[in-house]
Amino acid sequence: MFAAKVIGRVVATRKWKTIEGIKLLLIQPTDWKGNPRGEPIVAADSVGAGAGEFVFYVKAREACFQWLKGNKQVLDEMPPFDATIMGIIDGVEINENL
Amino acid sequence: MKICKVIGNVWATRKHKCLLGLKLLLVRELDVETGTLKGETMLAVDKNVHAGIGNVVLVCDEGNSARMMLDNPVAGIRTVVCGIVDEVEEFKKVKRFH
């Protein structure tokens, strides 16, 4: 999981059925001190984050599982996401010179 | 699996339910030969390993193993701490970490 800052919202009217009702946010990946790195990406929001918040997100296939209702990996229910916001960061303690 | 060093931790109140009760650690890959850190800083989940800042740990960056470890087939987590490294032997040179 990696850190990012929420910089905006994405709205799409016509979308794949499994994405319906899920909030999409534009996030700028950052390092753990908040400095931006790389290009902004679109991520699904599972925690209710808002603009300007410092969040962490998961990439790849694991981004789809949060949205399943049951306890099984049902392929038909999995939305096609490649990034999902997993939590809002309250604080970070980091020391690279150990 | 990678040999990483724990360089920090993250706390978050609002997070996805699959992360509840789990420790979030910042880890970075360790070059065992030179003792330097390399690569990106990742957020790894610690369940019942009890690693702390400064520990050298074994990190598994793969979704299916993470889900098996966490005993949740739909957890959206792919980076888990699965052990604390005591020593590494490479070409008969033994490096102890604690």
- The pLDDT tens digits for B43-85 are 999 988 888 898 999 999 888 888 888 888 888 888 999 999 9
pTM of the full structure: 0.85
**Residues of B with CB below 8 A from A45's CB?**
none
**Residues of A with CB below 8 A from B72's CB?**
71
The answer to whether B46 and B81 have CB atoms below 8 angstroms apart is yes
CB-CB under 8 Å, A89 with B26:
no
Query: What does the buried/exposed string (b/e) look like for B6-23 if buried means 16 or more CB atoms within 10 Å of the residue's CB?
Result: bbbbbebeebbebbeebb
pLDDT in tens, A36-82: 998 999 999 989 888 889 999 998 888 888 877 777 777 778 888 99
CB-CB under 8 Å, B43 with A62:
no
Residues near B70 by beta carbon (within 8 Å), at least 6 away in sequence? B18, B22, B45, B47, B77, B80
CB-CB under 8 Å, B63 with A60:
yes
Whether the per-residue pLDDT at A98 is higher than 80: the answer is no
Instruction: Identify the structural domains of chain A with CATH numbers, from first to last.
Output: 2-88 (2.40.50.220)
**B20 to chain A nearest CA, in Å?**
11
CB-CB under 8 Å, B7 with A94:
yes
Q: Hey, is the C-beta of A14 within 8 angstroms of any chain B C-beta? A: no
CB-CB under 8 Å, A88 with B16:
no
Q: Hey, is the C-beta of B70 within 8 angstroms of any chain A C-beta? A: no
ipTM: 0.81
Instruction: State the average pLDDT over residues A8-37.
Output: 89
Strand partners, B79: B61
Query: What does the buried/exposed string (b/e) look like for A20-49 if buried means 16 or more CB atoms within 10 Å of the residue's CB?
Result: eeebbbbbbbbebeeeeeeeeeebbbbbeb
CATH T-level topology, domain B2-96: OB fold (Dihydrolipoamide Acetyltransferase, E2P) (2.40.50)
pLDDT in tens, B3-43: 999 999 999 888 888 888 899 999 999 988 888 898 889 99
Residue A60: predicted pLDDT: 86
Residue A12 vs residues A53, A60, A83, B26, B87: alpha-carbon distances, Å: 22, 21, 17, 34, 52
Residue B26: predicted pLDDT: 93
Q: Hey, is the C-beta of B28 within 8 angstroms of any chain A C-beta? A: yes
